[in-house]
Amino acid sequence: MSHTRNSRRDFLNKLSLLAASGGAAAIMPQLRMMNTALASTSSLTGYKALVCVYLNGGNDSWNMLVPFDSNGSNLRFDVYAAARSGVYDPAANSGGLGLTLPIGPNITLQKVIDGNDANSATNQYFLHPSFTTPYSTQTPLSTLYTQGHLAFAVNVGTLTKPIVMADYNSSAANRPPQLFSHSDQTSQWHQGNTSASSAVGWGGLCAENLQLQGANLTTNPKLALAISLAGANRFEVGSGSVPYQMSSNGLTSLSGVCNPTCTVGATSSGRDAALNSIIGETYANDFSGEYNAVLQRGRSLYNLIGPNLPPASNTYVPTTAFPPNNSLAAQLKTVATMIKLSKMQGYASRQIYFVQLGGFDLHSGLMSGGGNHASLLTQVGQALGAFYTSLGPTDVNAQSEVTAFTVSDFARTLQSNGSGSDHGWGGLQMVLGGAVHGGKLYSNGGGPISGFPNQSLGGTGSPAPNNFSRGQMIPGIGVEQYAATLAQWMGVSATDCNTIFPNLHNFTSKNLGFV
């Protein structure tokens, strides 16, 4: 039966019955999903997944990895400590943001060497102590670094092109718009460019590119290559697609209707009849027709995936123990479950996941109090450690096929505001996986700023001319370079990266080599 635009009232009447069951909310996130062409033969081999770990609020990343060399006066740790308003001491210096230089047995736990630097005077660092404490028997990030599975990208941030302070001051066109703004910098990280008018993300565009190469192995229904465990996000939005959304508790079922058969009484049967009536009809009205198509797809995907996920089944849940009361760990556990399910059921040869942990906007309470930075990094470190362990050969068996990477709005000021730090710019990011060339720092993007930065506060006469007065740093590596490295590992060609990242041509290095 075909309906015209005059059937809008009939459609809405039936939709209201479905909405009463909670079904509308369950499938609305998928409303904009569009099918893209699928290549007849795949140019991709094996399975690979990216997992974007978004640290929401602006992570104070310069406390994740700190120079170790010190003479108590002017070596790199001493410069760091001075810039951070001193080493934190709850009694003597409660406003200081610096970490304590490890001594005794803590040196063994925290100290790491940059495998890309042969100079012992400059290649020694120490990790935040939160990264040395694993959950249960899982491997801590400190060990994963020394084993070569964890790398750091140094001084990464939003850029239109490589610049120094003179370029920043000479023209607003040389710098990204709306620097230090949470929403704008988040968008630019997710987009992989500094355009203020873009509405798509580099993860979504990569997913569409990989789908055209045959990465999606599902047909009817078609499971999106981009999957979010943290709600809507620009990172996974493509030119004609949005991510498939689920929670760490699995899929959201339609409430009060049949999934797929009725066992709960006449009321649900009536609602189910209304739902099936909508699905069985066609509508000339664009909105009605699209809603109908998405509803069918959402229900079909639930029937495809739901029986293989908790609470219906624990078959694909990793046996590795994940830390409780840790929202990031819960999301990553579901990602590990979906990876195992997708591999064994042949859903896709490439997938892109998005997870998130908030609370990093620590203008106060950075070193103490509930939700302080150390507690957040403990959650991050233990969640990532459990996730990597779960991917091991006795569990999910995908350590070399999965790469997790961190992203955040921006780093923060080195200088204390009295209790916390404020919005900064370039910072550190972590990359974790069996394919990662870890145990190294990646700090050279081919531009005028390279290496681990001098952490002196900027200003007249400063030995760090590309730092601002409170220790905000101009990035030496652009988001495009960091993201394009990950995209190429997934199978996106260097040529296509120039389209996905329109400013990439401004940068010398198109692949940083960490994976």
Of the pLDDT bands very low, low, confident and very high (cuts 50, 70, 90), residue 90 is very high
pLDDT at 31 > cutoff 50: no
Q: What pLDDT digit, counting tens, does each position of 474-496 carry? A: 999 999 999 999 999 999 999 99
3-state SS, 310-355, equals: CCCCCCCCCCCCCCCCCHHHHHHHHHHHHHHHHHHHCCECEEEEEE
pLDDT at 7 > cutoff 70: no
pLDDT at 32 > cutoff 50: no
Residues 6+ apart with CB under 8 A from 62: 80, 411, 412, 414, 427, 428, 455
pLDDT at 306 > cutoff 60: yes
Per cent of the chain over pLDDT 70 is 90
Which amino acid is it at 473? M
| Residue 282 CB neighbour total at 10 angstroms | 12
Q: Specify the pLDDT at position 297.
A: 79
3-state SS, residue 424: coil
Q: What pLDDT digit, counting tens, does each position of 120-143 carry? A: 999 999 999 999 999 999 999 999
3-state SS, residue 370: coil
- Residue pair 450/473 in contact by the 8 Å Cβ criterion: no
Kindly state the helix (H) or strand (E) to which residue 228 belongs, with its residue range: strand 226-228
User: What is the mean predicted confidence (pLDDT) over 300-319?
Assistant: 92
Pairing outcome for strands 2-3 and 282-283: parallel
Smallest CA-to-CA distance from 432 within 101, 145, 8 is with 145
The residue with greater pLDDT, 351 or 6, is: 351
The mean of the pLDDT values for the chain is 90
pLDDT at 251 > cutoff 80: yes
The Cα 33–Cα 27 span in angstroms is: 11
pLDDT at 503 > cutoff 70: yes
- Residue pair 111/399 in contact by the 8 Å Cβ criterion: no
Q: What pLDDT digit, counting tens, does each position of 398-429 carry? A: 999 999 999 999 999 999 999 999 999 999 99
Of the pLDDT bands very low, low, confident and very high (cuts 50, 70, 90), residue 29 is very low
Q: Specify the pLDDT at position 8.
A: 47
The Cα 39–Cα 285 span in angstroms is: 31
pLDDT at 11 > cutoff 60: no
The residue with greater pLDDT, 273 or 33, is: 273
Q: Specify the pLDDT at position 10.
A: 52
Of the pLDDT bands very low, low, confident and very high (cuts 50, 70, 90), residue 260 is low
Residues 6+ apart with CB under 8 A from 325: none
Q: What pLDDT digit, counting tens, does each position of 263-292 carry? A: 555 566 777 777 777 777 878 888 878 777
Of the pLDDT bands very low, low, confident and very high (cuts 50, 70, 90), residue 197 is confident
The residue with greater pLDDT, 35 or 452, is: 452
pLDDT at 319 > cutoff 80: yes
Q: How many helices (H) and strands (E) does the chain have?
A: 14, 14
Q: What pLDDT digit, counting tens, does each position of 48-67 carry? A: 999 999 999 999 999 999 99
pLDDT at 36 > cutoff 70: no
DSSP states along 22-80 = THHHHHGGGTT-------SS----S-EEEEEEEETT---GGGTEEE----SSSSHHHHH
Which amino acid is it at 329? A
Smallest CA-to-CA distance from 88 within 421, 411, 379 is with 421
According to DSSP H, which parts of 405-493 are helical? 479-490
CA distance readout (Å), 326 to 31, 53, 57, 116, 348:
30, 14, 17, 34, 28
pLDDT at 26 > cutoff 70: no
Helix axes 286-305, 266-280, angle to 10 degrees: 120
- Residue pair 319/395 in contact by the 8 Å Cβ criterion: yes
Q: What pLDDT digit, counting tens, does each position of 333-378 carry? A: 999 999 999 999 999 999 999 999 999 999 999 999 999 999 999 9
Pairing outcome for strands 427-433 and 124-127: unpaired
How many residues are there in the chain?
515
CA distance readout (Å), 252 to 14, 28, 311, 478, 479:
21, 12, 11, 38, 34
Dihedrals phi, psi of 399, to nearest 5 degrees: -60, -40
The Cα 192–Cα 17 span in angstroms is: 42
Q: Specify the pLDDT at position 290.
A: 78
Q: Specify the pLDDT at position 278.
A: 74
Q: Specify the pLDDT at position 30.
A: 38
Q: Tokens at residue 243, please?
A: 């991510």
CA distance readout (Å), 94 to 61, 90, 364:
20, 5, 11
pLDDT at 3 > cutoff 80: no
The Cα 150–Cα 433 span in angstroms is: 7
Q: Specify the pLDDT at position 336.
A: 98
DSSP states along 244-310 = EE-BTTBPPPPTTS-SSS--S-HHHHHHHHHHHHHHH-EESSHHHHHHHHHHHHHHHHHHHHGGGST
The residue with greater pLDDT, 137 or 152, is: 152
Q: What is the Cβ-side half-sphere exposure of residue 195, based on CA atoms within 13 angstroms? A: 15
According to DSSP H, which parts of 105-181 are helical? 105-110, 141-146, 165-170
- Residue pair 63/97 in contact by the 8 Å Cβ criterion: yes
